[in-house]
Amino acid sequence: MYDGKILSGPYSSGLKESLLSSIAHFKALEGAGSPIIPYIAAWLPEGGDIWYEYAGTRLRELLGFRTTEVAGALRDNILSRCLYRIQEKPPGIDKIIRDKEQITRLRKVMRRVAERGGGIDAVYKFSANGRPLWLKDLARIEIHDRDRIVLSYGTLIDVTKEMQLEETLFEVQHELEFHKVNLESLVEERSRELSRAHLDVLARLTQATAFRDGSTGAHIKRLSRYCAVLGDSFGLSKRALEIIFHAVPMHDVGKIGIADAILQKQGPLSHDEFEIIKTHCRVGSDLLSKGKSTLLKVAQSIALNHHERWDGSGYPQGLASRQIPLASRITSICDVFDALASERPYKKAWSFEEAVEEVWDLRGKYFDPDLVDLFMKNIPRIRRIYRETPAG
Ligand SMILES: [Fe+2]
Ligand SMILES: [Fe+2]
């Protein structure tokens, strides 16, 4: 039974004859019991709905509708579509459209692609009476310019079993991907926890030593923030700033090995006492030397070098200018500045302005002149930190 439009429409006899012979050929194919479901679809080059000139009887059985209803039924029941690459071996999936809305939106585009490519190689998923039905579609496109019509001679084959297997594989793969992502975030969370624990231990160690020489937790907090401002202004990366921020508090851990009588002495230190104080750099560096993390390595370097001076008059190694690692050059400015602006057992706190002036005076003597310039440029930020974290 013919349900199409061309044979009774205003089309050329050539087109009608070719269509009739194709239908006869397809019917013979079906009669021979071929599992292939042939069809002939048609549409106008300027667009509009697709219709079917012929659709194999098995398609009607599978989907339960007449040829005139094929287009609408296919459109209404389509669930997804995989467009396969044309003329490539082995054919790989080029595009998977898993959403019905997307199919509707892309229908015109896909039709144009098929026209240009001269064929269709796709797999569609339908809902057939509530059950999934997968059909593989292989079609040849003919554009009949004179008749202003496009014909698609195609064959469908039921690939439901194969595609269900593929879907299962896809789901398994998807699940594996999900677990992989989950595992990664779990590992990340775990290492975040570890580094939190790591920082916590370090903070406690730092606190234990910080109070011994009369400096306070507030000194350490301000110092970290001053150093971060200076490092940021210098152009250090976020990661480097984070490391400096957490490493700087450990600069004086070596004081753990120095007697309270010297550390907390009110009044000037004797030459010998000062020599003992100086050992805190090496003691601190030794304490931190076994660390494998970048954080501990930087902390060790700062502990060792934070009393070096730009002009080479510092200790313990008498390093000068850029021989002194950058993190230590940053720390020494901020450490001296904050020590001046804070009260200690042996001295009163200098005013903010006096401390800034001293830093400026020591430019090129104790401190890296470029870093002092950056320090001056950032006075508003430094002042904010100074106000937010009260001296003590
Ligand atoms: Fe120190
Ligand atoms: Fe300090």
Beta-carbon contacts of residue 177 (< 8 Å; ≥ 6 apart): none
pLDDT of amino acid 159: 81
Tokens representing 26 are 């397809």
Residues of the chain with pLDDT under 70: 1, 64-70, 77-96, 98, 166-167, 169-191, 193-194, 197, 207-216, 390-392
Angle at 309 between CA 303 and CA 314, to 5 degrees: 75
Q: Are strands 78-84 and 37-44 parallel, antiparallel or unpaired?
A: unpaired
pLDDT of amino acid 203: 73
237 CA from centroid of ligand 2 (Å): 24
Phi, psi (degrees; rounded to nearest 5) at 367: -115, 150
280 CA from centroid of ligand 1 (Å): 7
Cα–Cα distances in Å, from 188 out to 112, 184, 192? 47, 6, 6
pLDDT of amino acid 89: 37
Tokens representing 338 are 């904050």
272 CA from centroid of ligand 1 (Å): 17
Rg (CA), the chain: 40
Rounded Cα distance between 59 and 157, Å, is: 9
Instruction: Indicate the SS3 state at residue 5.
Output: coil
Quickly list H helices, 118-270: 160-210, 217-234, 238-247, 260-263
Which ligand number lies closest to the CA of residue 302? 1
Which ligand number lies closest to the CA of residue 331? 2
Angle at 12 between CA 8 and CA 16, to 5 degrees: 55
Which ligand number lies closest to the CA of residue 219? 2
Which ligand number lies closest to the CA of residue 210? 2
Which ligand number lies closest to the CA of residue 255? 1
Which ligand number lies closest to the CA of residue 220? 2
Which ligand number lies closest to the CA of residue 252? 1
Rounded Cα distance between 16 and 10, Å, is: 10
Rounded Cα distance between 21 and 25, Å, is: 6
Rounded Cα distance between 241 and 228, Å, is: 6
118 CA from centroid of ligand 1 (Å): 80
251 CA from centroid of ligand 2 (Å): 7
Q: Are strands 93-97 and 119-128 parallel, antiparallel or unpaired?
A: unpaired
pLDDT of amino acid 360: 96
pTM here is 0.53
pLDDT of amino acid 179: 60
pLDDT of amino acid 140: 85
339 CA from centroid of ligand 2 (Å): 7
Q: Assign residue 54 a region: left if phi > 0, alpha if psi is -120 to 50, beta otherwise?
A: beta
292 CA from centroid of ligand 2 (Å): 24
Phi, psi (degrees; rounded to nearest 5) at 366: -85, -35
Rounded Cα distance between 84 and 156, Å, is: 14
Rounded Cα distance between 110 and 301, Å, is: 64
60 CA from centroid of ligand 1 (Å): 89
Which ligand number lies closest to the CA of residue 281? 1
pLDDT of amino acid 90: 38
User: Which of 196, 216, 218 shows the shortest CA–CA distance to 208?
Assistant: 216
Q: Mind listing the pLDDT tens digit for each residue in 132-146?
A: 888 888 888 888 889
Q: How far is CA 205 from the centre of its chain?
A: 35
Burial class (CB in 10 A: 0-12, 13-18, 19+), 87: exposed
Q: CB atoms < 10 A from the CB of 88, how many?
A: 10
Domains and CATH numbers, the chain: 13-160 (3.30.450.20), 197-388 (1.10.3210.10)
pLDDT of amino acid 278: 93
pLDDT of amino acid 213: 65
